[in-house]
Structure 1
């Protein structure tokens, strides 16, 4: 087979198989990972806004990196933006992207790589920003995906700064991934009340790479926090006088409002 024909088949495979980046890295994707990637990366998908409520070590950050690399490699001149609660997490997201790129044999497509940015020869870019509202304004042109890592831990002032990025592209993806952290944050409110989202809820017990023995040990060590870290539970803040469950149980939907 000629080199040109091989390249054409490679590009065709990349376009048709959104999980190809995993396969080229020798990673066996879970069902939810394949479904999420297909929904994000397919041009015809109507499920590009996604909330990933995942237990610890279920592969959410790796899947986000796979989505970023796939989208950037398919769309010349485009921009994929990561936001997170800290510069350390931002750097980790770029590191994961570079690891997938190198593992898939795409290194020759990279023009520039830094700790917070990857630029393809096609002029597509992956940019990772720490969650500081005063330093992340001013982007917008060419953005095809906004990925919020550890959304429940990201300062809420970030979202009014970054959501306008998506204003002129109805087909742009918006992915928020996190382990829960109480009820008083953007991730929790959107999970319980937000519209438009495709939701994925994956407890750690569903991950084939995590042993039942390990989870039992964590349950013993973490106590009530185990439900938050490994079972996707939105625990009430310790400072709340009334928990969410107490409020819901106190409401009788059959009672009529009293008008004075």
Structure 2
């Protein structure tokens, strides 16, 4: 019976993934020829570094290097044909929708969904699956996501989000496994996801805080001792955070960058920061 449940879950997960992919494709099917806009110009159209894959090592070491590297791969395959760029953006968004599904499913499968479900694990899983698929579909097709998906340069945003979601999911699996080697492997993926996320876009610097909050609320259930048991991982993430913070603060220099979506010729990172308080 347990084996049947495992396969039943796998079938549902497969159907959920296909549903997320198909509906998202339908919603965004008219966006594949949307042209380059705003920061697409300096980051892609006029960024001559991406036109030579020999520059990849230099690109990856730079700010948002992982994201820029994907633009270089796009250019190598299709030049400045916008269709290829939109396909990659949409693919990443679909992956994020599927990751959201698994995150919600794993979370709800482990918490109390009410007195009617405490002694019936199958009902908990069934309700968790339904809520997870509805939530993931809402995330995938909601209009608020349009800018991040169709504005090509915002691949930085959705790529960083993808690595953050991967990091949280592997943290959950690592925290729950009893095998030391397997836990170390899962936590290694968390650290790698943090690295790749930050070099996609700096928003990923918040990943340790998200993991800590998730741990406190859903895994440790407020028990500080349980959180302390995962101290080695938190120390690694803290060290990475310190390194990333120095890079971020250095980036607040008076060097003009992109338009930051404002449609102006250039704006420094510091100027962009202080507009957030207006």
Give the structure-2-normalised TM-score.
0.27
More strand by share: 1
Give the structure-1-normalised TM-score.
0.28
More helix by share: 2
Kindly indicate whether structure 1 or structure 2 has the higher relative contact order, using CA contacts under 8 Å at least 6 residues apart: 1
